Chains A and B, each alone.
Chain A
Amino acid sequence: MSKLSYISPDGLRVDGRRSNEIRRLNIKMGVSNRADGSAYYEQGNTKILVTVYGPRESVNSKSLYDRAVVKCEFSMSSFSTTERKQRQKGTDRQATEIQNLIKQAFESTVHVQLYPRSQIDIFVQVLQSDGGLKSASINACTLALIDAGISMKDFVCACNTSCIDGIPVLDLNNIEERSGGPDLLLSINPQLGGVISLNMDSKVQQDLFESVLDLGVKGCQKIFTILSDQVKRYSTELMSNQQQLQQS
């Protein structure tokens, strides 16, 4: 595999992007009628549907008297990857990892103390997977929670970065994820400026790490501008619909 060049001499990657570019985002909010909030999120060829139920009464008595509990369930459609996965509910390590990641990210960002004795359920369904699942799921969850009208301190924007052949690259796709470079997942609160989570599982020199982290922050900010644009457009649309209803 080492002979495969991930970055061409012109500085272009396998899918034609430059090293600091993210894939095209396609976002739709309010796609599900049953759920309290929902979002469809497309980042390149990664396609995710998220629905949010809640805040609602806790089903099992694990509720906390002073705040809400965030629960997350992550599932991959069996046709989402190129190899069909055997069904193994509850034992999937990757799913558990992402569930915990999302749970932690949003328990710190949602105003949980506003919803005592209740729970907020987040269901993530991956329809097609082409790398960057964790970051895409987090971004999609942010949108679905906003659609559900749940009060939050800020957005949570996530992005994965890596470095291939010494060049830091942003938003990896499936092929690039297999390159064996360090995979850094960064999620931040773009407006408050806090880091929600930072995961990296490889050894990297410190100065290189800093440039990768820098790029990650830039990527998150870029995603934030796109998401907030979309949220504003969606809410103005809702507002104008409401005004039309009132007039008629």
Chain B
Amino acid sequence: MEAFQKIHPLEFYRKFLQRSVRPDGRSLNDIRKTSISTGAITTACGSSFVKIGNTSVICGIRSEVGIPSFENTDQQTNIFVNLELGPICSNIYSSTKPSEQAMSLSSKLNSLVKRLDIPKEDFYFDQEGKVLWYLYVDIYCLDYDGNIMDASILALISSLKNVKLPRGIIENTNEYYKDTEQLRSLQINHYLFPLSFSIIEDFILSDPSNQEEQLSTSNLTITLNENFEICLLSYSGIKPISETILQESFEKLKNRIEYLKSLIDSAQEH
């Protein structure tokens, strides 16, 4: 059986999928056990740890104080997201060159942050906003077993909700002091609920594992907010996707939203 899986992985999967089950015992729509915890890293001003099955990511946020440049202020963002897929998480990544996958995911995460509609005033260091907070979000994958997109989006939103910024005091125009007695959180108006799918032949698999991702012909990621508005929809593959599949995928995600919401909220309570 193991030899069969190694030599003919696709055929091996096909045999399972025809019976609507996956080799790890899940049905096609089942999602692996997901858990979120926050605040584990005390050197960061916000942090979270997300585990989806065997995939685990850790996310930490560092805050810096900076003076904004006054060109096109509407376009400016105060949050910078970076995702790192290092050799620690899997032997397919090398440390010498940054992985292309990590870079493309980072840019997607950076665009997702803008969908959160965090008010500009929340980044003010002082009352007037002459000096601003800049948040650097770093997500490290510790263990890679597929579906890194969902894990990093969940890590991003839960660590941002975990952020505690000290009250800033400015004296003599260029001396910055932080009052760590008075901490405040960011006002985050939206949630992000991700779900990824892999398509192997005609089967649509929710929450794909590493091997499923490698066998798949195309991948689909949908991210909605709590009002069912699309925040991110990315599809890549060699075959076009039919509208019914897309509709079905939306339905699957909508069914999961309540659960994800409770997961994100309960992680904040500790």
Contact = CB atoms under 8 A, between A and B. Distances in A.
A234 interface: no
Given A33-B145, A127-B58, A81 B43 contact: yes
Interface stretch (B60-68, B108-116, B219-227): B60-68
A33 B211 CA distance: 14
Chain A, interface size: which category?
A: 20 to 34
A226 B88 CA distance: 25
Chain B, interface size: which category?
A: 20 to 34
A79 B142 contact: no
Between B62, B64, B95, the greatest number of chain A beta carbons within 10 A of the residue's beta carbon is seen for B62
Contacts of A33: 54, 143, 145
A222 B19 CA distance: 56
B42 A45 contact: yes
B41 interface: yes
Interface stretch (A70-78, A133-141, A187-195, A213-221): A70-78
B88 A51 contact: yes
Contacts of A81: 43
B81 to A, nearest CB: 12
A49 interface: yes
Nearest to A73: B95
A84 interface: yes
A78 B138 contact: yes
29 contacts: A33-B143, A34-B54, A34-B89, A34-B91, A34-B144, A35-B91, A49-B142, A73-B87, A77-B60, A77-B138, A78-B60, A78-B138, A79-B43, A79-B47, A79-B136, A80-B41, A80-B60, A81-B43, A84-B64, A84-B136, A123-B88, A125-B88, A125-B142, A127-B41, A127-B58, A128-B41, A128-B42, A128-B43, A129-B43
Interface of A: 31-35, 45, 47, 49, 51, 53, 73, 75, 77-82, 84, 89, 121, 123, 125, 127-130
